[in-house]
């Protein structure tokens, strides 16, 4: 960390590492970004971080781009909303601090130092692998899809009225046409469909003859064992929150468990895997990583070395000690065990074109990585050429997720660059106790919005036909206009919206104002955090904090359709529906935990 500070004071270009990446040249004294989202400075200080507390994060003295210690999750105070927001703020500053030499050397930031491991995408068997970060090496090839999976591992869909569903694909022919079971119990290829939102659809076969159905359209779960192992029958509880997607001549029709047509939010139809493009014409890339405690805990439990009878992430010293001992048996000593188990998800965009937009590439955390090249001659279909190129990528979003004392469900916080997207209208309480109404942003330069569309968050491209990128609509593949519907993670008609907005804003403003001017981290803001009451398994009524939280670069198309209460939340996807209510949340909240191949064999 001291090396980064010294370099910044000399205004000398340095390099560091993210994941297995060489971080690109970033002058740290370039000044603040031309921020479009302005965090109000007059919010009632409900969750302000005191100067003494803030200085303690730095070890006693706040320094420019200085080293921040991790929040101590073992002694997490759990004294109300503010303790969760402060945990989130401190963890983000820690993750984006230059790594001490005890973290493995090199010129890394903490979250791309050797105490973190990159997690691969799932292979054909649904398994993932760990790759320990190595200083000063390029980041491996990243994912380009932003689609979120639901509790059963299926893609999410938002209906026009804001309800969330998982999509169970219907059986298909080799040509990609969906099959449906007729009244005789036989699977018939669908050639045409007549469908209207909220009404029963009519299907036609290859001879354009109406297909007679068994009373009503029902979900065909013949693919369930492969696609969603926990989905047992068409009458199971799980299917109540599902739709079945029928692919017909390149379009998708969605049918709910009652047999009615569901009209998705504009831009989602036909796409189960969203791709995001910035105003600089760059694709957005995604990476997932976990810390050493997570990796050794998962490995030790999988190998039967670490007892975990309740199947929960470690939240106490007693649960952490066996993890420390197991790592020591493999020659590893944790330099920051008090962080407990952490999962970090990041989103990145090519820096080319940022300066032309007036967004200044020097105001982003950056890395180098290798990305695929595409033949873009067909504006409706981008096809990979088989070649790659080295690029500099800028950090635009980060999920900070970690277990803490009393909270095995993990705390879920999210951060974005201030120039990503405009905010919808919101309200908060100022220091005088007056409600302040902030209008929707309608001017300025944004990385993910041109402000020209009256219907924001329309998905224009998908990765369903991987590795190709396919247009969703008649518009060319390219940037869409994104809006942050819930500015601070809470719906505008929630009973506690003023309280939650004010808490998050006051936490943000106090942290950002106490960072030294020129600190690169002043260009990123927390848009909220969520957890469950008492760390219990997720239910519809026990999700607290900013419980309609979405990151516009990671859940772009899962925000619902307005600033009101609709759309998804972290726990819409990361839930424990198989766990009885009232019990501690188990490791199922992490989509990757049970899919990872352990670091070491048994």
**Cα 128 to Cα 81, 117, 170, 289, distances in angstroms:** 34, 12, 26, 11
**CA-to-CA distance for 18 and 16, rounded, in angstroms?**
7
Instruction: Give pTM, 2 decimals.
Output: 0.80
Every domain of the chain and the residues it spans: 2-147+275-592, 163-264
280 vs 373: CA distance, rounded Å: 16
pLDDT in tens, 287-325: 899 999 999 999 999 999 999 999 999 999 999 999 999
Residue 422 pLDDT > 60, yes or no? yes
At 28, the pLDDT band (50, 70, 90 cuts) reads: very low
Neighbours of 331 (CB within 10 A): 6
246-275 pLDDT tens trace? 877 656 788 887 788 887 654 433 334 678
Q: Is the pLDDT of residue 17 over 60?
A: no
95: exposed, middle or buried (C-beta count within 10 Å: 0-12, 13-18, 19+)? buried
List CB contacts of 550: < 8 A, sequence separation 6 or more. 414, 484, 485, 486, 489, 558, 559, 567, 568, 569
Look over the chain and give the mean of its residue pLDDT values, rounded to a whole number: 84
State the pLDDT confidence band at 176, using cuts at 50, 70 and 90.
Answer: low
- The SS3 call for residue 194 is strand
What pLDDT does 24 receive? 30
Residue 450's pLDDT is what?
Answer: 94
Residue 175 scores a pLDDT above 50: yes
CA-nearest of 435, 295, 363 to 27 is 363
pLDDT level of residue 157 (50, 70, 90 thresholds) = low
Paired residues of 416 in beta bridges: 397, 525
pLDDT, position 574 = 78
Among the residue ranges 141-145, 435-439, 467-471, 552-556, the one predicted with the least confidence is 141-145
Which segment of 270-274, 352-356, 413-417, 585-589 scores lowest on mean pLDDT? 270-274
pLDDT (0 to 100) of residue 517: 94
> What is the mean predicted confidence (pLDDT) over 502-531?
97
Express each pLDDT in 545-598 by its tens digit.
Answer: 998 999 999 988 888 889 998 877 777 777 766 667 778 889 989 989 999 999
Band (15; pLDDT cuts 50, 70, 90): very low
pLDDT at 218: 62
- pLDDT for the residue numbered 199: 84
DSSP-derived 3-state class of residue 93: helix
| Torsion angle (degrees, nearest 10) of CA 487, 489, 492, 498 | -90
Identify the pLDDT of residue 223.
Answer: 55
Q: What is the pLDDT of residue 584?
A: 87
pLDDT at 7: 30
Q: Distance (Å, rounded) from C-alpha 298 to C-alpha 295?
A: 5
Instruction: Quote the CA–CA distance of 496 and 564 in Å, as a whole number.
Output: 12
Q: Please tell me whether residue 366 adopts helix, strand or coil conformation.
A: strand
Percent helix, strand and coil across the chain, each to the nearest 5: 20, 25, 55
Task: Give the number of C-alpha atoms closer than 13 A to the C-alpha of residue 128, restricted to the C-beta side.
Answer: 22
Question: CA 247, 253, 256, 257 torsion: positive or negative?
Answer: negative
- Pick 211 or 225 by higher pLDDT: 211
| CB half-sphere exposure, 458, CA atoms < 13 A | 21
User: Is the distance from CB of 99 to CB of 110 less than 8 angstroms?
Assistant: yes
Q: Has residue 4 got a pLDDT over 50?
A: no
Which of 141-150, 153-162, 310-319, 407-416 comes out lowest in average pLDDT?
141-150
User: For position 260, what pLDDT does the model report?
Assistant: 83
The pLDDT of residue 488 is: 97
Per-residue pLDDT, 92: 98
CA atoms of 435 and 43, how far apart (whole Å):
10
The pLDDT of 95-119, averaged and rounded, is 91
SS3 for 111-178, per residue? HHCCCEEEECCCCCCCCECEEECCCCCCECCCECCCCCECCCCCEEEEECCCCEEEEEECCECCCCCE
**Percentage of the chain modeled with pLDDT above 90:** 53
Whether the Cβ atoms of residue 551 and residue 126 lie closer than 8 Å to each other: no
Tell me the per-residue pLDDT of 35-79, one tens digit each, with 9 for 90 and over.
Answer: 589 999 999 999 999 999 999 999 999 999 999 999 999 999 999
Overall size of the chain counted in residues: 602
548 with 490: CB under 8 angstroms?
A: yes
pLDDT band at 13, cuts 50/70/90?
Answer: very low
Q: 287 exposed, middle or buried (CB, 10 Å; 0-12, 13-18, 19+)?
A: buried
Residue with tokens 């995604």: 286
Give the pLDDT mean for 407-426: 97
Q: Provide Rg for the chain, Cα atoms.
A: 24
Checking if the pLDDT of 148 tops 60, the result is: no
Using CA atoms, how far residue 498 sits from 488, 494, 597, in Å, is: 10, 9, 44
Q: Which two tokens stand for residue 225?
A: 């064992």
- CB 457 within 8 Å of CB 483: yes
Residue with tokens 């080295």: 390
Strand duo 164-169 + 242-248: pairing: parallel
Q: Which is more confident, 185 or 355?
A: 355
Section 527-537 average pLDDT: 94
How much is the average pLDDT of 418-445? 96
**327 has pLDDT over 90:** yes
Task: Give CA–CA dist 234/103, Å, rounded.
Answer: 50
Quick check: 445 pLDDT over 60? yes
What percentage of residues in the chain have a pLDDT greater than 70? 82
116 backbone φψ class: left, alpha, beta (φ>0; ψ -120 to 50): beta
Band the pLDDT of 484: cuts 50, 70, 90. very high
Q: Do 230 and 220 meet the contact criterion of CB atoms below 8 Å apart?
A: no
- Residue 189 confidence class, pLDDT cut points 50, 70, 90: confident
Q: What counts of helices (H) and strands (E) characterise the chain?
A: 9, 23
């Amino acid at each position: 960390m001291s090396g980064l500070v010294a370099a910044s004071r000399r205004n000398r270009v340095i390099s560091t590492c993210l994941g297995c990446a060489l971080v690109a040249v970033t002058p740290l004294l370039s000044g603040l970004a031309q921020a479009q989202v302005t965090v109000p400075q007059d919010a009632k200080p409900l969750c302000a971080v005191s100067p003494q507390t803030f200085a303690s994060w730095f070890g006693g003295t706040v320094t420019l781009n200085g080293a921040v210690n991790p929040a101590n999750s073992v002694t997490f105070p759990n004294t109300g909303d503010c303790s969760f927001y402060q945990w989130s703020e401190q963890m983000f500053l820690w993750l984006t601090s230059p790594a001490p030499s005890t973290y493995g050397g090199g010129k890394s930031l903490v979250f791309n130092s050797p105490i973190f491991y990159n997690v691969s995408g799932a292979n054909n068997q649904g398994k993932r692998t760990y790759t320990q970060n190595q200083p000063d090496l390029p980041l491996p090839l990243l994912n380009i899809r932003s689609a979120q999976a639901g509790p059963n591992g299926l893609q999410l869909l938002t209906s026009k009225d804001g309800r969330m569903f998982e999509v169970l694909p219907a059986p298909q022919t080799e040509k990609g046409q969906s099959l449906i079971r007729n009244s005789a119990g036989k699977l018939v290829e669908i050639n045409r469909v007549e469908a209207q939102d909220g009404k029963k659809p009519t299907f036609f076969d290859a001879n354009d003859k109406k297909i007679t159905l068994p009373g009503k359209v029902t979900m065909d779960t013949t693919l369930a064992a492969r696609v969603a192992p926990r989905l047992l029958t068409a009458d199971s509880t799980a299917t109540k929150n599902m739709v079945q997607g029928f692919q017909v001549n390149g379009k998708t029709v969605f049918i709910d468990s009652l047999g009615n047509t569901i009209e998705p939010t504009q831009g989602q139809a036909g796409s189960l895997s969203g791709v995001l493009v910035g105003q600089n014409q760059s694709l957005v890339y995604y990476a997932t990583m976990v810390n050493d405690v997570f990796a050794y805990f998962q490995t030790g439990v999988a190998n039967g070395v670490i007892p975990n009878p309740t199947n929960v992430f470690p939240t106490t010293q007693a649960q952490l000690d066996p993890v420390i001992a197991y790592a020591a048996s493999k020659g590893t000593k944790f330099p920051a065990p008090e962080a407990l188990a952490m999962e970090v998800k990041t989103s990145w965009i090519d820096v080319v074109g940022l300066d032309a937009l007036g967004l200044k590439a020097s105001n982003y955390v950056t890395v180098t990585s290798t990305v695929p090249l595409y033949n873009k001659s067909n504006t409706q279909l981008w096809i990979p050429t088989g070649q790659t190129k080295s690029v500099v990528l800028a950090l635009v979003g980060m999920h900070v997720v970690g277990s803490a004392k009393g909270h095995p469900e993990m705390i879920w916080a999210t951060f974005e660059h201030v120039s990503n997207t405009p905010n919808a209208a919101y309200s908060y309480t100022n220091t005088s106790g007056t409600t302040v109404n902030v209008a929707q942003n309608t001017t300025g330069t944004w990385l993910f919005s041109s402000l020209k569309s009256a219907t924001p968050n329309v998905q224009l491209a998908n990765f369903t036909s991987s590795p190709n990128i396919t247009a969703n609509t008649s518009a060319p593949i390219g940037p869409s206009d994104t809006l942050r519907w819930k500015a601070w993670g809470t719906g505008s008609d929630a009973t506690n919206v003023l309280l939650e907005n004010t808490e998050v804003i006051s936490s943000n403003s106090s942290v950002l104002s106490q960072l030294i001017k020129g600190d690169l981290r002043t260009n990123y803001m927390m848009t909220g955090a969520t957890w469950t009451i008492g760390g219990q398994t997720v239910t519809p009524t026990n999700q607290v904090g900013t419980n309609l939280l979405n990151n516009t670069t990671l859940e772009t198309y899962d925000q619902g359709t307005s600033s009101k209460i609709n759309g998804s939340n972290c726990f819409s996807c990361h839930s424990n529906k198989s766990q009885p209510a009232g019990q501690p949340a188990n490791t199922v909240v992490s989509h990757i935990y049970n899919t990872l191949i352990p670091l070491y064999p048994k």
